[in-house]
Amino acid sequence: MARAIEMLANLLAVTVLCICVHNTFQLVPLPDFIHPCGELTDECFTQATLDAIPGVVRGIPEAGIPSLDPLYLDRNITMNLPGNVKMTFHNGKLSGLRTCVPDKVSSHREKRTFIFDIHCNFTIKGHYSILGRILLFSLDTEGSAKIKIWNQHIRLEVLEKVVKDKNGEGHYKINSYKYKADYGTDLKLNLTNLFRGSPQISANILDVLNSNSQLVAAEFGGPILDYAIDYAMNVTQRFFSTYTYDQISKVPLTEEFFEDD
């Protein structure tokens, strides 16, 4: 009898140990550049975002997050430029996510919303092809494209919820997001080989495009920014799915905050 109890106790101990070890091993250790906030203040979230950006942009392999700078665009982007010009952009590469600086990051817990006000310097490179007319010239050409954007301001609103995983651990889940970018920023566009055989005409056309920089930024930068932000949101979701709420936040969550997936 005593022996049976002893065996049972051992079995129990082993089981408990297994569960603990099992659970402990399931938590992916939080990278040291993630500094959880103990309060819901703008100061803390802004600082934590500033601290997190360089490390997240370098990539977190254990969370399935690749390096984000440069970001390679895996699809073609088609845009309509001023006048009647259709431009396709391919083999695109966006550099500069590591330059992003948060001006203000706020949590509005009652609305389940985070708001990020950030600014970044971007360089976008790739190949373009163009079909259409600019000024008096018909264009049917292709070449390399480079666009530099300074101080691109972005206001990103992320709607989240917290759901429980199969171990009962809470995780943020992004419900939806939207963003606004102000294109009142400084921009320089360079397209090689724009007008075949005439560097002078090419330069003139570029001048026209560059003097409409807000429009070009919206038309050209817009779809690329759409891509980059969608990509960043996918990465952020992977981050949230890897790390539990309790790992990345020191603000306790009451039961009412958990929602069904």
Q: What residue ranges bind ligand NAG (CB under 6 A)?
A: 76, 88, 90, 99, 101, 121, 129, 150, 190, 192, 206, 227, 230-231, 234
Q: How far is the CB of 150 from ligand NAG (least distance, A)?
A: 5
Closest to ligand NAG by CB, 137 vs 227, is 227
Q: How far is the CB of 111 from ligand NAG (least distance, A)?
A: 24
Cα-only R_g, the chain: 25
Closest to ligand NAG by CB, 150 vs 179, is 150
Strands 258-259 and 186-191: unpaired
Closest to ligand NAG by CB, 113 vs 190, is 190
Closest to ligand NAG by CB, 27 vs 50, is 50
In this structure, are residues 220 and 209 in contact, taking their beta carbons and an 8 Å threshold? Answer: no
Closest to ligand NAG by CB, 74 vs 110, is 74
Cβ neighbours for 156, distance < 8 A, ≥ 6 positions apart: 115, 116, 118, 177, 178, 179, 229
CA dist., res. 91 & res. 73, Å (int): 7
Q: How far is the CB of 5 from ligand NAG (least distance, A)?
A: 53
Cβ neighbours for 87, distance < 8 A, ≥ 6 positions apart: 78, 79, 80, 81, 128, 129, 130, 131, 132, 220
Report the DSSP beta bridge partners of residue 120: 152
Q: How far is the CB of 211 from ligand NAG (least distance, A)?
A: 13
Q: How far is the CB of 234 from ligand NAG (least distance, A)?
A: 4
